[in-house]
Structure 1
Amino acid sequence: MTTLERRPLGGTGLEVTPVCLGGGVLGSMPSIFGYDVPAEQGIATVRAALESPINFLDTSAGYSDGESERRVAAALAEVGGLPEGHVLATKVDPDPETGEFDGPAVRRSAEASLERLGLERFQLLHLHDPEGIGFEAAMAPGGAVHALLALKEEGLAEHLGVAGGDIELMRQFVRTGAFEVVLTHNRFTLVDQSATPLLDEATGAGVAVLNAAPFGGGILAKGPEALRKYAYADAKPDVLERVRAMATLCAEAGVPLGAAALQFSTRDPRITSTVVGMSSPERVEQAVDWATWPIPDDLWQALSPLTKD
């Protein structure tokens, strides 16, 4: 049976597999991903993950207005709760009606997530996409981070993380010392390593790094002939050209492009776990296969010049 070695998640005391089930698509986001995910399919995907070597699940209050969390909860209920040795992370989001993302909104988001997930406390709770309010507002007295620290002090959140896209903003949050984990997305892939300064700074500070969206929205899994978007926007000609060349090299080596894209992240010692969006049980199986696919050193050497902008 295939196994995935578990890694320490920074100083949290938690141990996670190098691949994490990403829940963004689980609740169905057709406007972003281009397709619907029926409820039973989403639940079956979580069920498959729980039966797989993967021990790490990531979701958010804001994914499909809580539907991702509800589907995770339904699968967990089937097995009597989160299995021993598994780790579940979720994220607080702005108030879905008012858009407020202050301290009270964070507490409301967290309490709603506890209820939806059927949990008494969070193992890992992220501040999600703080770009919308900025660093000063998030760190202000009575603000979002103040509320998260209060949840931790009360024992409702064991560990805190911050998840977002803007690299310089994520670096600011890392420097506060309030967070044990940072999650970046779409910025450390085969064709974009703009998150490198964040990876270096977080690692140096003892903050665990999670890297999400290693396929850049799908092009690095499906190839440029099937998908011409990168990070949910039209891919630049240079990106299409490089991905096309990568796909050719991988095909010649007998390695799926998706395996190379995933392992580009999982093999980096600065990254504890790579968050992969999965929308069906088949995708769970595929992610495990790609994470363990043998990739010769000469393919990495051939790909290296193409990874640079």
Structure 2
Amino acid sequence: MTWNDRPLGTTGLRVTPLTVGGAPLGSMPKNFGYDVSEDQGVATARAALAGPIRALDTSSAYSAGESERRIGIALRELGGLSDGYLLSTKISRDLTTGDFSGAEMRRSIAGSLERLGLEQVPLVYLHDPENTTFEAATAPGGPLDVLRELKDSGVARAIGVAGGPTDLMARYLGTGHFDVLLTHNRWTLVNRNAGPLIDLAVDRGVGVVNAAVLGGGILATGTQGSDRYAYRPAAPEVLDAVRRIEDVATRAGVPLSTLATQFSTRDPRIATTVVGVSRPERIEQGVTAVTTPVEPGVFDEIDAIAASIPTDLLPA
């Protein structure tokens, strides 16, 4: 595959095939199983902001804002955000109280801008709206209204929705207010449940961002390194499918993580693929994963394996 940037839906923004996922660089050991020191996190953010991957995704909810704070340190060292670089963050509920009100969304973006040291962010998402009701999120003065105000005022050039359940995400796309969709854990080597949602987004001119293509780690390490998919124990049928895909990767002479990454980046519907990064050297490794040649037919074999997994065993 080639390393060319792509349009992000109809936003007018362009993005590289990969986006650096900023959750790990803030240190989230409960999710990823390891700590990341401040020095390592800032170094990773610096490499992300100055490297060939021209997009970085974070959230006010990642490590209680620590991911944004470390990115902000790197941004100040580098003299700010370079032209054309797609930095995205997310307004989110209070993780302690669960508050998902419009007022909380205002507090969330204010904290994000302060930590990042910016007045404007190219892309701002509404984060994990499955943690409130659709009715509350779309009520006058609620989270969606706040997000729209951010775009109208120029704080965000584009706005998106980032969440899990595909049926719910489709309802949000149906409002017609979102420029970008971020789906996670639901369009991977083993989980194809987001297919109709991605089609809906493309039909509406909404840019598609696909995240968590490594399934929380198992599609990078294989079953020897993890027995969990999407941060929860994987069903035996899913583990068996991953083992079979590991065999395909071995025969093809390609790392499993490369196949997991290219499954997404080769999809013409997907503008960019988010891969979490916690060490500077992972930046170049990500580019290699996208550009490594893969023999024709490998993904057809994987598709057949994925089709054998009952869909109700995976996040819908």
Task: Please give the range of the TM-score, normalised by the shorter of the 2 chains.
Answer: over 0.9
In the alignment of these two chains, the number of paired residues is: 308
Deviation for aligned residue 1:239:
1.1
Structure-to-structure mapping, 1:95-244, within 5 angstroms: 95-244=94-243
Q: Which stretches in structure 2 are left out of the alignment for 5+ residues?
A: 310-316
Query: Which has the bigger relative contact order, CA under 8 A and spacing at least 6?
Result: 2
The alpha carbon displacement at 1:3 in A equals 7.2
1:56-75 correspondence to structure 2 within 5 Å? 56-75=55-74
Corresponding residue number in structure 1 for 2:292: 293
How many Å apart are 1:96 and its aligned residue? 4.4
Bigger mean CA offset, 172-181 vs 232-241: 232-241
Normalised by the size of structure 1, how large is the TM-score?
0.97
Q: Which residue of 2 aligns with 1:77?
A: 76
What's the RMSD between the two structures over aligned residues?
A: 1.3
Counterpart in the other structure of 2:271: 272
Q: Which moved more, 1:173-182 or 1:93-102?
A: 93-102
Partner of 1:55: 54
Q: Return closer, same or farther for 1:299/1:149 CA change in 2, 3 Å cut-off.
A: same
Correspondence for 1:283: 282
Whether the aligned pair in 2 keeps the contact of 1:160 and 1:180 (CA below 8 Å) is yes
Shift >4 Å, 4+ stretches? none
- Residue deviations 1:100-126 (CA, integer Å, cap 9, x gap): 111111111111111111111121100
Unaligned regions of 5+ residues in structure 1, if any?
Answer: none
1: CA distance between counterparts of 2:54 and 2:198? 23
> Share of identical aligned residues, percent?
53
The AA in structure 1 aligned to 2:247 is T
Take 1:233 and 1:99, find their aligned partners in 2: how far apart are those partners? 21
Counterpart CA distance in 1 for 2:198 and 2:42 is 33
Whole-angstrom distance in 2 between the partners of 1:31 and 1:204:
37
Counterpart residue type for residue 233 of structure 2:
D
TM-score (norm 2): 0.95
- Mapped contact 1:4–1:54 kept (Cα < 8 A): no
Q: CA 1:239 to 1:97, structure 2 compared with 1: closer, same or farther past 3 Å?
A: closer
Q: 1:282 deviation in Å?
A: 2.3
Pick closer, same or farther for the CA change 1:305–1:224 going to 2, 3 Å. Answer: same
Instruction: Name the structure 2 match of 1:86.
Output: 85
Give the whole-Å Cα distance in 2 for the aligned partners of 1:10 and 1:73.
27
Query: Shift in Å at residue 302 of structure 1?
Result: 2.3
